[in-house]
Amino acid sequence: MITRAEETADGYVLNGAKMWITNGTIADVAVVWAKLNGEVRGFLVERETPGFTAPEMKGKHSLRASVTSELILQDVPIPSDNILPGGKGLKLPLSCLSQARYGIAWGVVGAAMACYDTAVAYAQTRIQFGKPIGSFQLVQAKLVDMLTEITKAQLLCLQLGRIKDANRVRFQQISLAKRNNVEMALRIARDARAVLGANGILDEYPVMRHAANLESVVTYEGTHEMHTLIVGEDITGIAAYA
């Protein structure tokens, strides 16, 4: 964490930068985490504060409907009332990640379902050699695999939600679901694109859009590899990243 906060007579001064901030350019207030005297603290930074800018990051091939920004802080004055109370350390910003990752585990199932539904409809109507391609064994095998993986992911999320509602969920379980379901959804998007053939890259169908977006979801809110190590540590009791 390169962003630093220094205490002043009137509050604090922030210096640093943040990357890949969703809606950072259009938000009225940003929650910025910075180190203050060696401890991680949270600060509310209002958009019009001098020294604070949030340029939009251009040229994305994925998540193009979302505004993604860089936050730049150069001697940004922060009133003393704008520090988040009641918590210190990295645990504070990390506490919100489990909720986001849980939402992702559900959301990517929706993307997979859209790709599957598109592939089924296409397989039933696309005629090759005088009959629908859905009558061929290899196409049916792809569709069966898609449906099976979607159903397993739905059941995983359903059980995870029940545990969460009972306040018994562990972040390692959420990591397992995020890791599994994102990988599943991306694989289904690719298989659906294969069923559609060259038509799969057209914007007439949603498959390529979902595939491109899922490539980002593999990375954000914790990479596939990071969640692998989280679950691996829980299994073995050994932190492979330490």
Domain residue ranges of the chain, discontinuous segments joined by +: 4-87, 96-236
Copy the structure tokens of residue 15. Answer: 């210096």
- What pLDDT digit, counting tens, does each position of 184-204 carry? 999 999 999 999 999 999 999
Residues near 180 by beta carbon (within 8 Å), at least 6 away in sequence: 105, 153, 156
* Residue of 55, 76, 85, 68 lying closest to 11 (CA atoms): 76
The crossing angle, in degrees rounded to 10, of helices 171-196 and 207-217 is 150
- What pLDDT digit, counting tens, does each position of 206-224 carry? 999 999 999 999 998 999 9
Largest Cα–Cα distance of the chain, in whole Å?
81
62, 216 Cβ separation under 8 angstroms: yes
Q: Under CATH, what is the fold of the domain 96-236?
A: Butyryl-CoA Dehydrogenase, subunit A; domain 3 (1.20.140)
Query: What is the percent of the chain where pLDDT is above 90?
Result: 91
Which residues are annotated as catalytic? 221
- One digit per residue, pLDDT tens: the chain, 242 residues? 889 999 999 999 999 999 999 999 999 999 999 999 999 999 999 999 999 999 999 999 999 999 999 999 999 999 999 999 877 887 777 778 899 999 999 999 999 999 999 999 999 999 999 999 999 999 999 999 999 999 999 999 999 999 999 999 999 999 999 999 999 999 999 999 999 999 999 999 999 999 999 999 999 899 999 999 999 999 999 999 86
Please classify residue 73 by burial: count the beta carbons closer than 10 Å to its beta carbon, then call 0-12 exposed, 13-18 middle and 19+ buried: buried
* Residue of 102, 188, 96 lying closest to 151 (CA atoms): 188
Copy the structure tokens of residue 12. Answer: 């604090």
Q: Under CATH, what is the fold of the domain 4-87?
A: Butyryl-CoA Dehydrogenase, subunit A; domain 2 (2.40.110)
